[in-house]
Structure 1
Amino acid sequence: MKNKWLQIILSVLSLGLAALLVFYLPQLVHALTGKPVSWQQILQVFGTLDGGEIALMTALWLLSLLAYTFVLTSSLPGLNNLQGLTLNAAGSAVSNLLPFGGAVGVALSFAMTRGWGFTSRAFVVMTLVSGIWNTLFRFILPAVGIMALLAAGKAPNPTVASAGWTGAVSILVLCAVVAAALYWDRAANVLGRAVDGVVRLLRLKFHASQAFQRLRADTAGVVRTRWPGLSLGMVFFLGFQWAIMAACMHGTGAWPGLAESIAVFALSRVLTSALITPSGAGIMESGVAALLITFGVPATPAIATALLFGFWTYTIEIPFGGLALGAWALLRRRNGRNAGAEPPSAIPKATR
């Protein structure tokens, strides 16, 4: 009971902090840049958006949701795209409302997949594989953002450029090594020994290679056969999300350039990992606005872009996920009534 009340208090505080960060975003930007910005000016920018721009953003948002369903269907064989869409929408809605909401989202996803007839082990494998692919791409994105800026000649001097290239390539190599270790036995053994060496140097009582081998044993079957679908799903998902940001930038007059837009998008996805607020709400918008201003975008359109992008990647997912969850609960109740009305011999058993 104490834990339940603690979760409620933390949730209220976390949502309150996110709301305060968004509400006082103009003041924060003014304190950082010295440029006065008001909500009236921001709302005026929103008023310049036309129906075609809003329709484009809506279409890109729906396409991004559809693209991510292929990550879920690839990690859970037998899951269809409609179920994947429902699973993603409902889980995102919960995660967007609660700090550390991922755990509650996982519990909800478990109940949904069990209701569709999937085994507990199949769900665990899906959670592990989709989580690994999300983590890998979260590491890859900053490297891509750095490389885009360097390729566009945005480094202030050769020393910074050299350090940037070294860091970006190192991140990509690390991700490639982890991916290879999940696919090949020899690579897994080499990585396991290397990690064990690091653990020994740090004098930690932890057998990293054994833990990695257990993880690999659980996920090897799906990774070896379905890695193309997983990777393409993540690429298109993130690509459509970047397209949403680009549409927001063009709509508000905040387009900083191709390389800069990629860097801003990469930062936005990294900041969603800030656990102090649900999905980094408020923190993501602050970071996006600050980086856009650094790239020379005026403060008002920079803030408008950050808020608009936050709407399409955070706020709208809450009511949409609520509708998806309500539809799932309604269908589950109706199917339960229908099953109760049939004789036991006529009720098909779920495949295990």
Structure 2
Amino acid sequence: MTSVEMADTESGAVEHRPRARRRLPWRPVLHWAVVAAALGYLVWRVPDLAAQFERLDHVQWAWVAAAGLSGLAALGVYGELHRQLLLVGGAHVPASAVQGITFAQNAVSTTVPVVGGAGSLGYAINQLRRRGVDSALAAWAVLLAGVITTVLLIVLGWLGLAWAGRVPIRLAVPAALVVAAGSAGVWAVLTHPAVLQRGLTSLLRVFGRTPGTCRTCRKTWLEKADAAALQLSERVARLRPGGTRWSILLILALGSWGFDFFALIASAEGTGTHIRWAVLAVGFLVVQASIALQILPGGAGLAEAGLLGVLVAAGVPAAPAAATVLIYRAISWAGLSLVGWVVYALQPHATPSHRHAPAAPAAVARSRA
């Protein structure tokens, strides 16, 4: 039960004010326990990775450095995608704060078993709320960033498979167009204010006539269905990016995947073996599919085996194929996770920059230009 304190008002009445809740002592303990466990796991893996690197012959470290920088750039561009989505809703969060949240979110997603995917989303939304972003906008920005990059990867995947000769081009191009056009159509329909309002109104009225639920709730849903649906549909309409903003979002999503793919190319070049980019494209898609399955955090094990299998099947000698897999995963998984957990450890000490209130429709319309 929340404790209260009493204060006299000007009229002499007694006003009850809720006391500020004390900060729960287990929160910082849990925070540092998670950090210690994650860093301990990565440190446990580092000696094994280092020993494997020592066995690599003729490694071209300039290419390895390029792969590392490209991996950082890929995640940084993805963080900028988050920031641009927040700008659509009128939230001006500093780029440094968004980047920190993105790196830490990636670390949680790629190293925490079972709940890493959902936990990373919750972490990102909570951190944005601490910086004054309202919950709806924070959730919308985090989720939509993932949807945009996923849809774009599917489109690029079809084209990449055609490039590698794994799928006929007459099938790949129509499939890519269907995915792109279908996604745009679904977005336009679901976010159109009139369609959304009618759908939400009908849904609330169905709930209002559904037996077995609270009678008072059903009555409220029936009486206020139109007003509630209108309010929510207007909120969603204000979060629709304009044409210019959509171009920026798609370029950023494409850039993020491009930097990630170049990290794989640079990893292969670092072994002194010139592997065809079309083969690497197929391996890259296999890695991303392994990560998306979430069987193990970051696709650990599956991603390495899948990429190695693609390279060997394409005729790449076993030694350079294994070296390519080692360099790429050491950078894109272990390295970025390590950086992200360091950011996560320092994140609670970051001071929120400002408080954010949802922007007025006119202001949001100007921000979407």
Q: What TM-score do the two structures reach when normalised by structure 1?
A: 0.68
**Aligned-partner residue type, residue 94 of structure 1:** V
- Tell whether the 8 Å contact from 1:144 to 1:168 is kept in structure 2 after alignment: yes
1:267 maps to amino acid: V
Residue 86 (structure 1) aligns with: 100
What is residue 206 of structure 1 aligned with on the other side? none
Change (3 A) 1:183 1:297: same
- 2:55 is the counterpart of 1:44: yes
The match for 1:170 is: 175
Match of 1:313 in 2: 332
Report % sequence identity: 20
Q: Following superposition of structure 1 onto structure 2, how do residues 91-106 of structure 1 map, counting pairs within 5 Å?
A: 91-98=105-112, 99-106=114-121
Specify which of 58, 69, 83 is matched with residue 59 of structure 1.
69
Counterpart CA distance in 2 for 1:322 and 1:185 is 37
1:233 aligns with 2:252: yes
Report the equivalent of 2:312: 293
Aligned 8 A contact 2:77 2:252 in 1: yes
- Which entry has the higher C-alpha Rg, 1 or 2? 2
* CA deviation string 1:287-307 (max 9, x = no partner): 000000111101111111112
Cα distance, 1:117–1:217 mapped onto 2, change above 3 Å = closer
Matched with 1:71 is 81
2:293 equivalent among 243, 265, 274: 274
Aligned-pair CA distance for 1:274: 2.1
Provide, for residues 45-92 of structure 1, a one-character-per-residue CA deviation record: whole Å limited to 9, x for no partner: 2x5324422322222122222211221012111233212211111111
Greater CA drift, 100-109 or 243-252: 100-109
Gap change, CA 1:220 and 1:49, over 3 Å in 2:
farther
Counterparts of 2:355 and 2:145, CA distance in 1? 28
Asked whether the equivalents of residues 149 and 263 of structure 1 are also in contact (C-alpha less than 8 Å), the reply is: yes
The 1-side partners of 2:301 and 2:285 are apart by 16
Return the match for 2:242 from 215, 220, 224: 224
Any gaps of 5 or more consecutive residues in structure 2? 1-32, 196-231, 359-369
* Contact 1:181 1:188 survives alignment (8 Å): no
CA change 1:218–1:187 in 2 (3 A) is: closer
Query: What is the deviation of 1:223?
Result: 3.6
Give, in whole Å, the separation in 2 of the partners of 1:328 and 1:246. 32
TM-superposed CA distance for 1:126, in Å, is: 0.8
Of 172-181 and 277-286, deviating more is: 172-181
Paired position in structure 2 for 1:255: 274
Count of residues paired in the alignment: 275
TM-score, L = length of structure 2: 0.65
Partner of 2:315, secondary structure, is: coil
Q: From 318, 328, 352, give the equivalent of 2:347.
A: 328
Q: For residues 210-246 of structure 1, what are the alpha-carbon distances to aligned partners after superposition, in whole Å with 9 as ceiling and x for unaligned?
A: xxxx999837733435321221111111111111100
Go from structure 1 to structure 2 and tell me whether the alpha carbon gap of 1:219 and 1:293 turns closer, same or farther (over 3 Å shift).
farther
Unpaired runs of at least 5, structure 1: 1-7, 24-38, 156-160, 191-213, 337-347
Q: Do the aligned partners of residues 316 and 41 (structure 1) sit closer, same or farther apart at CA in structure 2, a change above 3 Å counting?
A: closer
Preserved CA contact (<8 Å) 2:67 2:328: no
